[in-house]
Structure 1
Amino acid sequence: MDLSGLFSLMGKVALITGASKGIGFSIAEIFAAAGAKVVISSRKQDALDEMSAKLRSKGYEVTGIACNVGNSEDLEKLVKKTIDTYGQIDVLVNNAATNPVFGPVHETSLDAYDKIMDVNLKAPFHLMKLCFPYLRASSNASVINISSIGGITPEQGLGIYSVSKAGLISLTKVFAKEWGDHKIRVNAICPGLIQTKFSEALWSNEKIMNYMMKALAIKRVGDPEEIGAAALYLASKASSYTTGTVLTADGGFTI
């Protein structure tokens, strides 16, 4: 049996939000290494230019397009520029997220609530709709939504963030059911504690880390590349009969 093409993304175009660092960048690098043409997006073009150059120096095909996913017009421009550059979209990864608050849920302001929901839930919904015509034309379309273990069980201090990620899981399942007839697969990944700048408030907190180490089956913080590898499975032919799934990569925290 020839397995060389099972995890290949050769000839595919992948669009990844929140991809100038952390989990998003690791997904981008792994997808590019698998042969995909990759568009990375985040708010700051200078950061994207730097990281695109880093990947292109390895021989990968990568383009950076700035976008504030909380802005609907920016999302429309992102899709248009991606199509203008590569002519298609085969894989969409909704990774961009925000959490401007940490503390009791009743202390979360309405402004913070709106920002969390706009970025973490509304933006993936809108971007999936914008990409639909191009995903439908693909021979192996895949949407991957990066949720969180907080979307399965609310995390202390991350109340509304957890609510938004639970909503993203539900959104994933809704789209998976409705888009099956269009041969578009839609899945979610729920990372646990991953060592990124985004989660630094957690893994740099000794009290939280002591609690996590007692709860984890694999007693360490995860690496962004481990989420990238899970995303490659969901983007490739290896998962051709997988849709609507919620894949946890959390060191056994949710067992």
Structure 2
Amino acid sequence: MAANFKAEIGKRWSLHGTTALVTGGTRGIGKAIVEELAGLGAKVHTCARNEADVEKCLQEWKSLNLTVTGTVCDVSSREQRENLIHHITSLFQGKLDILINNSGTSRYKNALDFTAEDYSFIMSTNLESAFHLSQLAHPLLKASRSGSIVFISSVAGLIAIPSFTVYAITKGGMNQLTRNLAIEWAKDNIRANAIAPGPISTPLLELYFESKNDLTIEAIGVPMARIGEPVEVAALAAFLCMPGASYITGQKWKDEGKLRTVEGTILENSWSNKKEVATPLLE
């Protein structure tokens, strides 16, 4: 009896035997998620634009005995997204348990300075890719009978941050996409959740601090008084994909506190490891 009880608990907190696709998995949060999922027993496939980055990471993961494969894919390209899912269909025999829509980029400018090319590139990389890949992956996730989609959003989709206008649009759209897919696809046993972290130590954040050289983490006012680490986001992503999270869908997980802008204005936001308790139907 005790052995069965422990076995059941073990199943709830394991990803052994599952399959996962993580976009943008060679750097920052994406890389941490690949390693977290693979470390918990998942077979993971990832992609990135840079072939050298993919090959370097594959060698590193092989040395760690992690079951990870990877291909080159620019998710801003509709054709390459279709090729990626075609490859995944063959690789995982028509079933996919986990889709992590992580790929994202930004260009830090004032709203008036964004060009049509800037807008198109950021929208296609961040939001269009997340929507299209979810569409393409739907039959694979449905075939698994317990599919989980996790969108890596941002606190920028919930509050106003200088120079983040187009990036913020994509993340706000991603938050709403999460709610809608959760409602539409629950009947197919597919869950959809989003993680909206505050400042995390990634190359993208470094670029922002470089563009705002008078801004410090102390000025932002994060309750933990430090920048988060990618693995801290990865741990939450992994939890949302586990059987133990099987009743959680349509939620945004975020941080709670206050953001202080460069100008010193205090903007209300949500930065603490706290989940929105409202269900999608009530929002």
TM-score by length of 1: 0.94
Q: Does 1:197 align with 2:206?
A: no
Q: Given the alignment of the two structures, is residue 94 of structure 1 paired with residue 107 of structure 2, yes or no? A: no
Given the alignment, which residue of 92, 108, 126 partners 1:120?
126
Displacement after TM superposition at 1:240 (Å): 0.6
After superposition, the Cα gap between the structure-2 partners of 1:73 and 1:216, relative to the gap in structure 1 and judged at 3 Å, is same
User: Is the alpha carbon distance of 1:122 and 1:4 closer, same or farther for their aligned partners in structure 2, counting shifts above 3 Å?
Assistant: same
| Residue aligning to 1:104 | 110
Opposite residue 244 of structure 2, the aligned amino acid is A
Q: Distance in 2 between matches of 1:247 and 1:145?
A: 10
Unaligned runs of 5+ in 2: 260-269, 272-283
- Name the amino acid aligned to 1:247: W
**Secondary structure, aligned partner of 2:45:** strand
Which structure has the higher relative contact order (CA within 8 Å, separation 6+)?
Answer: 1
Paired position in structure 2 for 1:173: 179
Counterpart in the other structure of 1:21: 27
Q: Structure 1 stretch 58-67 or stretch 102-111: which is displaced more?
A: 102-111
Residue 120 (structure 1) shift? 0.9
Q: Deviations over 1:3-57 (max 9, x none)?
A: 3222211111100001111100000000000000000111122211211221121
The 8 Å contact of residues 13 and 243 in structure 2, kept in 1 or not, is answered as yes
- Is 1:224 aligned with 2:224? no
- 1:209–1:121 Cα change, 3 Å: same
User: Which residue does 2:60 correspond to in 1?
Assistant: 54
Measure the CA separation in 2 of the matches of 1:229 and 1:74: 29
Residues 191 and 250, structure 1, Cα contact 8 Å, conserved in 2: no
Could you tell me how far apart the structure 2 residues matched to 1:146 and 1:114 are?
Answer: 19
Instruction: Answer yes or no: is the 8 Å Cα contact 1:17–1:94 preserved in 2.
Output: yes
Number of residue pairs matched?
A: 253
CA contact (8 A) 2:145 2:188 kept: no
> How far off its partner does 1:250 sit?
6.8
Q: Measure the CA separation in 2 of the matches of 1:249 and 1:16.
A: 23
Contact residue 217 and residue 225 of structure 2 kept, 8 A: no
| Gap runs ≥5 in structure 1 | none
What residue number does 2:156 align with? 150
CA distance in 2, matches of 1:78, 1:173: 25
Q: Distance in 2 between matches of 1:150 and 1:10?
A: 34
User: Could you report, residue by residue, the CA deviation over 1:128-187 in whole angstroms, capped at 9, with x for unpaired residues?
Assistant: 010010100113210000110000112111111101110111111111110011110000
Which one has the largest radius of gyration?
2
Q: 2:89 aligns with which of 83, 89, 109?
A: 83
- Alpha-carbon separation, structure 1, partners of 2:36 and 2:215: 30
Counterpart selection for 1:183 from 181, 189, 201: 189
State the AA in 1 paired with 2:31. Answer: F
RMSD: 1.6
